[in-house]
Amino acid sequence: MIETSERLQAQLAFIREIDRVKGVFRQTVLMDRSRKENDAEHSWHIALMAVVLQEYAPQGLDVLRTIRMLLIHDLVEIDCGDTFCYDTAGMVGKHEREAQAADRVFGLLPDDQAAEMKALWLEFEDRQSPESRYANALDRLQPMLHNYVTEGGAWREHGVTADRVLRRNRIIADGAPELWQWARAMIADAVDRGYLEPGPNYGCEMEQG
């Protein structure tokens, strides 16, 4: 038995629990194509992207708040697993299941920190604050980059078409408009290269900007 304060014990219980997110695998394939990526790796990557790409975020945004959101945004998947963002059936009831998971996982922390983390997770989900919009933009952008670099990656594996990629990821424009312009060009290039089938509504989705 290690003697310590109840508060530190609760914090350590949380730190131990979240190790499990390293075993939650996503559809995204690593850029060297060796295997799929897990949530811990994904969260690290986008947290660092938040630093490197900060100049494309809304001015005056609190980047620490964005990073804290990104570091915790997938912890609910310890209980719920990862839902592929093009899996419309899997999306049904997702928020409710994840909210329960948030209560359990963040609930391991002392009450003040649990409440703060839960609020931060809800803020991420709500996509209203500038920090949340920027965080969500990065969360969408990173798998797209992986799919492009791996010549289709998860898009190809699941038969996702460019029109759906455009519709699904247009929210990037809310958090980082310049990065959305770049992402659109990447999608067009992926179609040209045959990494991505255009799909029936490609022209119409592209016109929407």
Closer to a copy of itself by CB, 115 or 185: give it: 185
- Quick one: three-class SS letters along 158-209? CCCEHHHHHHHHCCHHHHCHHHHHHHHHHHHHHHHHCCCECCCCHHHHHHCC
Binding site for a copy of itself (CB under 8 A): 1-4, 8, 11-12, 14-16, 18-20, 22-23, 30-32, 34, 37-38, 40-41, 43-45, 47-49, 51-53, 56, 63-64, 67-68, 71-72, 109, 113, 145-146, 149, 178, 182, 185-186, 189
134: nearest Cα among 61, 209, 83, 40: 61
70: nearest Cα among 92, 46, 38, 97: 46
Closer to a copy of itself by CB, 11 or 201: give it: 11
Q: How far is the CB of 57 from a copy of itself (least distance, A)?
A: 13
Closer to a copy of itself by CB, 85 or 138: give it: 138
Q: How far is the CB of 52 from a copy of itself (least distance, A)?
A: 5
Q: How far is the CB of 125 from a copy of itself (least distance, A)?
A: 18
Q: Which amino acid is at 65?
A: R
Closer to a copy of itself by CB, 133 or 184: give it: 184
Distance separating alpha carbons of residues 37 and 181, to the nearest angstrom: 26
- Compute and round to an integer the Cα radius of gyration of the chain: 18
Closer to a copy of itself by CB, 126 or 178: give it: 178
Beta strands in the chain (DSSP E): 25-29, 36-38
Beta strands 25-29; 36-38: pairing state: antiparallel
